[in-house]
Amino acid sequence: MKPPVALVSLGCSKNLVDSEVMLGLLDEAGYPIVEDNEDAQVVIVNTCAFIEPAVNEAIEALLDISELKKKGKLQALICAGCLSQRYQDDLLAELPEVDVFLTPGAVDQVVEAVQLALSGQREVMKAPLEYIYDAQTPRWRSAPSWLAYVKIAEGCDNRCAYCTIPSLRGRYRSRPVDDICDEFSNLAGGGAQEIVLIAHDTTRYGEEMEPPSSLAALLENLPTRDYNGWIRIMYMYPTRITTNLINAVGQSICTVPYFDIPFQHASQGILQRMGRAGDGEVYLHELAQIRRMIPDAALRTTLIAGLPGETEEDFEVLLDFVRQARFDRLGVFPYWPEPGTPAAEMEDQVPPEAARQRQEELISVQEQISLEKNEQFVGQRLRVLVEREIEEGVWAGRSYRDAPEVDAEVILRAASEGIRTNIGEFVWATVTKAQVHDLTAVVQG
């Protein structure tokens, strides 16, 4: 009997897919997978190291779990993911509690990593950042059974001045259309009600392939004939949203009209400093086009406040952009100077306190917009994917406007006693109340 293995997945959904691939490979090799670290003889922590708080969270998780070694049951601790890539050989001295470090390019060597760690060796297992899984790779699903992420590409060829991702994940590489279609069929056939297409930049999909393909072509090819669930696309790069893509989303019965476009800023000067294309005017034009072609489109963005050199005028441009764009969902982060990125070396760093104040101001403007947007839904019927029971007769779910993890919820109430909903299935509900983020809706049964 092989020793049981547990895995802790930190960071984003792209990392979660890697975690599921590692667990799938270990399961195939005969290692029992357990949920609780206390029941495991080997624990893998799949880390994020995008920004300093994520690095700290990863180190804390590793140190916490290493305490289990003292109790005697845990024999080996493995650090996988971006932390291993970012700090590589330094980690052997810095984290003696960890046995083996596995970089993202070596995800498919996880079985060897476990064997190595159990044999008492310490090593950083490296490989070029070229790996990407395929539909045949075993996956041990750890997201809820109704939700699945499909990584359509890995890496990033953009060079945003504040971001470490390209150095952690390598050049952009797309999976073949047929391979993604095969995985889609497997997941849909296995009961996934929402399939989320992810990559660091989904709109670049297929550009580097020979012959080239596109996200629009991928959507048109997905085998959706018997699929009654949702397809959702995350992480679209602002200036790569083509008319073809908007058309493909609008015409696909399964693809929710949800556009997640991390604009990051709107001032031309700041966007140039960031190394990103476009400006607020171009972006507003694009949003108007999406709304013209798909009137019920839900628009989400993320922004960064306080990039070096961001003046009061730049910030006013950003505030004005948010007022005009009227996003359905918006996330905003204060700028964080990440060592090793060009932005961290820039002059005119904005004091962290000022960046946080700007973040709060943006949030406050958006909250009013969000409430007004939500109020427009009162009286409408929405299809909701039920995800959890709050109490008898009350559940929480998500509508097409809410991506998992990052957006809001629809609180569902039974119209009368005896009405039931099933977790992981869709219901239709009539919206009765709007709050800043969530909606309340009644299920008639």
Residue 237: CB minimum distance to ligand SF4, A:
6
Instruction: Output 166 or 397, the one with its CB closest to ligand SF4.
Output: 166
Phi-psi region of 72 (alpha: psi -120 to 50; beta: other; left: phi over 0): left
Least Å distance between CB 86 and ligand SF4?
A: 14
Taking the least distance from each CB to ligand SF4, the nearer of 138 and 275 is: 275
> Which of these segments, 5-13, 53-61, 159-167, 321-329, binds ligand SF4 (CB under 6 A)?
159-167
Q: Cβ of residue 201: shortest distance to ligand SF4, in angstroms?
A: 5
Asked if residue 270 lies in contact with residue 307, where contact means CB atoms within 8 angstroms, the answer is yes
CB of 347 to ligand SF4, least distance (A): 21
Please report how close the Cβ of residue 392 comes to ligand SF4 at its closest, in angstroms: 43
Residue 156 interacts with ligand SF4 (CB under 6 A)?
A: yes
| Span near ligand SF4 by CB under 6 A; candidates 98-106, 156-164, 221-229, 247-255 | 156-164
Phi and psi at 60, nearest 5°, equal: -60, -45
Residue 190: exposure state from Cβ atoms within 10 A (0-12, 13-18, ≥19): exposed
Residue 147 neighbours by CB under 8 Å, 6+ apart: 192, 193, 194, 196, 404
- Provide the minimum distance between the beta carbon of 113 and ligand SF4 in the complex, in angstroms, as a whole number: 26
Nearest CB to ligand SF4, comparing residues 163 and 231? 163
Q: Which residue's CB is nearer to ligand SF4, number 150 or number 414?
A: 150
Q: Which residues of 2-25 are buried (b: 16+ CB within 10 A; e: fewer)?
A: ebbbbbbbbbbbbbbbbbbbbbbb
* DSSP character string of 200-266: SSGGGTTTTSSS---HHHHHHHS--TT--SEEEE----GGG--HHHHHHHHH-SSB-SEEE---B--
Q: Which of 48, 106, 163, 196 binds ligand SF4 (CB under 6 A)?
A: 163
Task: Report the alpha-carbon distance of residue 83 to residue 45 in Å, rounded.
Answer: 10
113, 106 in Cβ contact below 8 A? yes
User: Pairing mode, if any, of strands 329-334 and 381-391?
Assistant: unpaired
Q: Considering only residues 104, 166, 170, 278, which one is a binding residue for ligand SF4 as defined by CB under 6 A?
A: 166
Instruction: Write down the least CB distance from residue 204 to ligand SF4, Å.
Output: 9
- List Cβ neighbours of 96 (8 Å cut-off, separation of 6 or more): none
379-408 residues in contact with ligand SF4 (CB under 6 A) are: none
> Closer CB to ligand SF4, residue 275 or residue 393?
275
Q: Toward ligand SF4, which CB reaches closer, 245 or 411?
A: 245
Query: Looking at beta carbons only, is 132 or 165 nearer to ligand SF4?
Result: 165
Residue 132 near residue 57, CB atoms below 8 Å? no
Q: Cα separation of 216 and 243, whole Å?
A: 9
Cβ atoms of 164 and 200 closer than 8 Å: no
Contacts of ligand SF4 in 194-233 (CB under 6 A):
200-201
The answer to whether residues 29 and 3 touch, using CB atoms and an 8 Å cutoff, is: no
User: Which residue, 37 or 103, has its beta carbon nearer to ligand SF4?
Assistant: 103
Binding mask 303-342 for ligand SF4 (x = CB under 6 A): ----------------------------------------
Can you tell me the distance from the alpha carbon of 362 to that of 11, in angstroms, rounded to the nearest whole number?
25
Q: Are the CB atoms for 381 and 428 separated by under 8 Å?
A: yes
Beta-carbon contacts of 402 under 8 Å, excluding residues fewer than 6 positions away, are: 329, 408, 409, 410
- Whichever of 221 and 302 has its CB closer to ligand SF4, that residue is 302
The crossing angle, in degrees rounded to 10, of helices 312-325 and 352-375 is: 10
Site for ligand SF4 (CB under 6 A): which residue of 78, 116, 165, 246?
165
Q: Kindly give the pairing relationship between strand 426-434 and strand 381-391.
A: antiparallel
Rounded least distance, CB 377 to ligand SF4, Å? 31
The CA distance from 243 to 136, in Å, is: 33
* Region from 158-166, 177-185, 187-195, 248-256 binding ligand SF4, contact rule CB under 6 A: 158-166
CB of 263 to ligand SF4, least distance (A): 11
Q: Which span (40-48, 54-62, 153-161, 404-412) binds ligand SF4, by CB under 6 A?
A: 153-161
Least distance (Å) between residue 305 CB and ligand SF4: 15
Among 77-85, 161-169, 336-344, 403-411, the segment contacting ligand SF4 (CB under 6 A): 161-169
Q: Which residues bind ligand SF4 (CB under 6 A)?
A: 156, 158, 160, 163, 165-166, 200-201
